């Protein structure tokens, strides 16, 4: 367990494990680095794993900063840990952070793995994928009314009905009961980021190795978008988990670790 205060005045919490090629894990909205616990345990046997809590999540303090400022802080942490560059595995919002990192500090990124993530999360006239803007704003209103309950309801919605019926999901729910609740202001601020950020043009310019890992039943990151993206990015790797929602690394951790490991080994 490590803490580092950056020049922007945020006290970040992060963990370092293992030795080898440095890989940074970035979690998504409403959770924290503990969501990667089975990946940290598995990959730290062969890689140097850095996992961070985003501001207002887990044990990292909250201060409102832009996405650009956030990745400047992350780059500062990477350097303080002794890395010139890292590969990044980002879940949902974490993938957006990874892509912003590539835009601002491309020299610090060796590869990107997007897990249930895409360059734009809100639907628009020229982008029929993602969520309706009204859905973001409805969730924001619900969070202001009943924060903890809505965090739990939203998290549950990210799994399919079949996933929610498994013993694995019961373990996940038990695990979450002892977890850190995100800062309310932080959660609302990140929803605004997810609604407004559009990094499609950045993704088109990515020249490092890229992998997309998705569940076929993920209602946030729809399969049709990635099928179209596959035509534009034939050099990228696309892996699918059937009958799976937004978190394949939680629902099918052993299978997920194998798929990610095959990608990482192929980089050597």
Tens of pLDDT, residues 1-44: 799 999 999 999 999 999 999 999 999 999 999 999 999 999 99
Nearest to 80 by CA among 133, 14, 177, 151: 14
Cα separation, 148 vs 160, in Å, equals 21
Residue 240, pLDDT > 80, answer yes
What does the mean pLDDT of the chain come to? 95
Does pTM top 0.95 for this prediction?
A: yes
pLDDT of residue 175: 81
What contacts 129, CB < 8 A, 6 or more positions away?
A: 118, 120, 123, 221, 222, 224, 225
Residue 178, pLDDT > 80, answer no
How large is the average pLDDT for residues 60-89?
A: 97
Q: Are 67 and 121 contacting, i.e. CB atoms less than 8 angstroms apart? A: no
Helices (H), 146-183: 147-157, 161-164, 167-177
Domains and CATH numbers, the chain: 2-265 (3.40.50.1820)
Residue 183, pLDDT > 80, answer yes
Tell me which DSSP letter residue 243 carries: T
DSSP 23-47: EEEE--TT--GGGGHHHHHHHTTTE
Cα separation, 230 vs 236, in Å, equals 7
Tens of pLDDT, residues 35-74: 999 999 999 999 999 999 999 999 999 999 999 999 999 9
């Amino acid at each position: 367990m490590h803490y580092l205060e950056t020049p922007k005045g945020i006290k970040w919490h992060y963990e370092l494990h293992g030795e080898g090629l440095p890989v940074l894990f970035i979690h998504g909205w409403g959770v924290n680095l503990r969501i990667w616990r089975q990946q940290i345990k598995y990959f730290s046997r062969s890689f140097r794993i850095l996992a961070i809590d985003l501001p207002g999540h887990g044990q990292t303090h909250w201060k409102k900063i832009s996405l650009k400022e956030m990745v400047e802080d992350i780059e500062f942490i990477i350097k303080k840990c002794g890395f010139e560059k890292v590969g990044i595995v980002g879940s949902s919002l974490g993938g957006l952070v990874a892509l912003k990192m590539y835009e601002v500090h491309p020299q610090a990124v060796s590869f990107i793995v997007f897990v249930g993530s895409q360059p734009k999360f809100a639907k628009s006239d020229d982008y029929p994928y993602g969520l309706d803007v009204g859905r973001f704003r409805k969730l924001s209103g619900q969070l202001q009314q009943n924060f903890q309950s809505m965090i739990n309801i939203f998290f549950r919605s990210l799994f399919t009905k079949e996933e929610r019926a498994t013993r694995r999901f019961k373990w996940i729910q038990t695990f979450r009961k002892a977890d850190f609740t995100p800062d309310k202001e932080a959660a609302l601020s990140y929803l605004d980021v997810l609604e407004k950020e559009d990094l499609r043009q950045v993704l088109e310019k990515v020249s490092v190795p890229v992998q997309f890992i998705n569940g076929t039943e993920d209602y946030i990151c729809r399969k049709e978008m990635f099928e179209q993206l596959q035509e534009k990015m034939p050099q990228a790797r696309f892996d699918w988990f059937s009958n799976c929602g937004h978190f394949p690394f939680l629902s099918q951790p052993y299978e997920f670790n194998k798929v990610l490991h095959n990608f990482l080994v192929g980089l050597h």
